[in-house]
Structure 1
Amino acid sequence: MTAVTMRGAIDRLDSEGAIGWLYGADYTSPPLIRAFLHHDLIGEGFADVHRPDLENVGFGDGRCGFDIRFDRPIDPSYLSFITVKPQNVDLLLSAPVGSAAYLDLVNAVLVGFPSTGRTRSVLGGLWTDRTDAPQLLAGRIAVGACAAELQSVMQELILNGYVVLHNALSPAGVGSKDLANIKVATAPRSRDGEGDGRLKTALTGLAGLLFREPVVRLLRAVFDDHPVAYRLDSLSGDDRFAQMSALGDLPSPGECVGIYVGHPAAPIRIDMLRDSHELPEFGPSGRSRWTVGGADELGHFAAEAGLSVESIKLDAQDMAIVGPGLIHRVVAGRDAPALRAVVAPRRVTPQRFLSGEGNWVESGHVSGARIRI
């Protein structure tokens, strides 16, 4: 059966269930319709309910309606996160948009072309955040555009929205000189340029720490360009949930990743909202979660709603690469802060640099990567 021979829709979607229909001329038995919330099955039923209205317009004998009852009441704020589709068929049934639903500008495209690959934000983004990223990765490896040895780590980044590079900083890890450089690089900067020489020296040292050969190879594969770190932060305490795309002032928010480095005094923890990089883009206000205001709103909403949290720990020899759309937070001790670097392709320049306001200090690395703050 092809998508052309199938028609269907959701007529009603509320906290208790979904009512709709699915008709396919090639079906020999009623199809099983399944409802999911964040990839969890919450209800299912067969499309075998008689619908006289559908019979009257020529949809067979009209026995193509379904009435799915959810296994638990769903908060109205989550209704737009629910997907309804027939089993083993890549087809999303369109749903009515009510006042409690989230706005998603690509719904019209998804109805007609549910399998079409796209970026997860209307603002654009990296190819690794496209809905067809696994297929793109396979094609890139097949033609030699991506090294075969990067396949497993790229698959992990695409699937989970992050990847941990264990022992990326071995054998020495983060040393005392690195800690001193981090302190200088993340301290408030003087407007008159005093101390810029010391800052440049610190950035040179940090470029050697961040841009190890395996890391640069991975970032080049993700960016199709040289990586440039535009922001460095020292994080301690219990950070709020956020996502990388909203931390900077990039003209293309989705084209960035975060690099996290641990501390030798104690491991740091990163809490990830599982599969949050696949959440719908728009919050109740209509703002994209990939922007500063939208991400703050959706991150708080998702955290309060108790989505599944996955935690990882990084020691002084580990690094984590976090994609632009994954909602997460950092938990680090006051005496053992984490280093976060916001990294983007060289072709993407933050607006503060484009505006010409103030100046910056930068340092290059032999790999072609740079740090500019």
Structure 2
Amino acid sequence: MCSCDVWKDNWNRLGPLREFSTPYHNIEEVAELMNSEGWEFQKMNAVLPDQVVDHVKYKLSIMGQSIDADVPWWILTKSSKLTVSSALNVMRQQEQESLSYQRIWSKGVPFKISFFLWRMWKAILPVDDALKRMDISIVSRCICYLNSQSEKTFQHIFLTGNCVAEVWQYYTTSAGIIGPLIQLHQAVVKWWNTKCAVKLKLVFEAIQSFIYWQLWKRRNALMNGANMSKSKVIYCINQNIHNLISSLYPWLKNVPHDWPQMVQLLEGLNPRVGGQMVQRRYPSAGWHKCNTDGASRGNPGQRLTAFCIRYERGDLVYAAARRIANTTNICAEAVAIHVGLQYCVNNQMLPVIMETDSLAMVNIIQGD
């Protein structure tokens, strides 16, 4: 650390001093602020802000001259350690987030399918029109028909090819989507912007991912001499949609496997929304009420317990909180109840009503 630059390096873990202090040009290296016994605070007071001097005095007071090699500190993180994310933020040009890309990565869709849709959206799949743009002169032929001479373009594979249009018609008819699907982006956006029931919205945002994915798998199967019929494609897509619905709405039972029936189920789904009034009840005259709680970071992990005591009209009498040894959630709740009850007994705040937000502790105390 002794050879670090006083003003440019993060030697004090507060960041480069030049960002909030005027450089003092007679001082360049940290070694100039130290002697054989440690820091020279008199010199530091003359050139550094008071908060920096106090920080060094209390946080870095044991530092001294050393023969050990200096260690680099990364100034873009609070820990002074290099991280990939911080380096990436420096190197890349931050662009405005795209709503289209946000929808491509739909909730509940497997990563490989979302990644495939992203590649298709950017037209970087190995099909004829993409290969031409890369000056690759390998041209294949469509195998939808035995005698077909048309090239395998994106539109042909995913929208207009044999059996492909019939697959799209099966899903657009039940979804109420009208109009031809001419271009890939147009087809995707049409599904995204279709007005539908709330529960169907997430399904409509993801369904074209499943359709394109299964059409791509069909294309690959045909290329390798296998066969994948239209009914097989529809079955696989329906299975993907069924899994998505089960993941998004796990409380739904007996979800059908047929697309029109799935649309009908989600359109008619009107969950009951209710509310319950919660209010503080004052104790009877002459009584006290003690509310307890235990907080944690991890299980087990760092724990805090707290309690507060109120009179019969809700006026606060006493409140306290303290840190306890690392333990489990249930132990933290138990300690909070014990400490609060013990305070009430020691200070003659009886009779008292104990309240806790832990149902497990209530059941334990009641013997359930």
TM range (shorter): under 0.3
Higher relative contact order, structure no. (Cα contacts within 8 Å, ≥ 6 residues apart):
1
TM-score, normalised with respect to structure 2: 0.22
TM-score, normalised with respect to structure 1: 0.21
**Which protein is bigger by CA-based radius of gyration?**
2
Q: Which has the higher strand share?
A: 1
